[in-house]
Amino acid sequence: MTQALSTLFSRTWIWSFIAAASVFLVTIVFTGGASTVGLAQAALTFGAFSVLVGLGQMLVITLGPGNIDLSVPANMTLAATVSLKVMNVENSMILTGLLVAIGVGVAIGIGNYALIKLLRIPPIIATLSMSFIVQSTAIWTNRGLRIKPPSWLADFTTSSTAGVPNVALVALVFSVIVWYVLNRTVYGRSIAAIGQSIRAARMAGIPIDGTRLLTYLLCAVLASLCGYLLASFSGGAALNMGTEYLLMSIAVVVIGGTAVAGGNSNVPGIWGASLFMFLVVSMLNTYGFGAGIRLILTGLIIIAVIMLPTTRSAGKT
């Protein structure tokens, strides 16, 4: 029993779940147990969106220092805006809208890596530059309109199956896929090797450029998918809908136990961190604190986690 507990607590992802559970219990105690089920469902619902963008950001960060995608918020907005316009509130166009959203992600992912590789721009600058281009395109496409999603898609994203929100189930499916890819495929081993030492990876014959391109592409596609689902859940696309997910996509990766130095990823931790972040926001809202306090607290949490030695020695699960 002791050995089992020791093994469990050696997993870096368990601490994000412990933190989430602690905040959940504190919130329930101070609200007198009111809306316990509602809070849990809300955490799963809104946490699912953070999970989707976090998975993509985790793949990029695993590539090593300097790799990060700052185009995520603009990507979400453009994918949501274009896909909703294509669907035009018609249920028969739901699949077409999904394919369009994925296409937007593919284009942005390729554009990001083109700037990084061809122009030799650092990833953080390349993706930031791309975000301005994408956001401008979203503004031009949106033109101040708020198109509603098809009724079937809206019903799906706002409903639950066996008490579990559908968007959480979608995020769970993608989490399992990403976990499998990272731990059971050549590609997963390749990005880990690149993150640990790009020089050693090149000497081992790993296709560096192809692997990095695919990683940025996957990150962009997951962000586009998140935008597609978020717009359908919230009743339409807004130009600022992805803003909070820039910091959030990074926070859930770091808090979830993925090594910020690259080379190691942590899929389960993304879930614990996403739930934790939502519950912290809910608790702050309960006490009447504003967005400024929330952002300050988020920054402090990230700094604290990075300083923990367990984060630096994070391993795959």
Please state the pTM of the whole predicted model.
0.89
Supply the pLDDT for residue 314.
45
pLDDT, tens digit, 9 for 90 and up, residues 211-257:
999 999 999 999 999 999 999 999 888 888 888 898 889 989 988 88
Domain CATH for 256:
1.10.3470
Domain coverage including residue 67:
12-23+36-307
Q: Where are the beta strands (DSSP E) in 30-183?
A: 160-161, 164-165
Rounded to whole angstroms, the Cα distance separating 30 from 25 reads 9
Report yes or no on 315 lying in a domain.
no
Supply the pLDDT for residue 317.
45
Which segments in the chain show pLDDT lower than 70?
1-13, 31-34, 144-145, 286-291, 298, 302, 305-317
Axis crossing angle, helix 208-234 with helix 166-184, rounded to the nearest 10 = 170
Supply the pLDDT for residue 17.
85
Report yes or no on 110 lying in a domain.
yes
Report yes or no on 6 lying in a domain.
no
Report yes or no on 45 lying in a domain.
yes
Supply the pLDDT for residue 307.
67
Rounded to whole angstroms, the Cα distance separating 232 from 158 reads 8
Number of domains in the chain: 1
Asked if residues 50 and 245 have their Cβ atoms less than 8 Å apart, the reply is: yes
Asked if residues 70 and 214 have their Cβ atoms less than 8 Å apart, the reply is: no
Report yes or no on 2 lying in a domain.
no
Rounded to whole angstroms, the Cα distance separating 52 from 187 reads 19
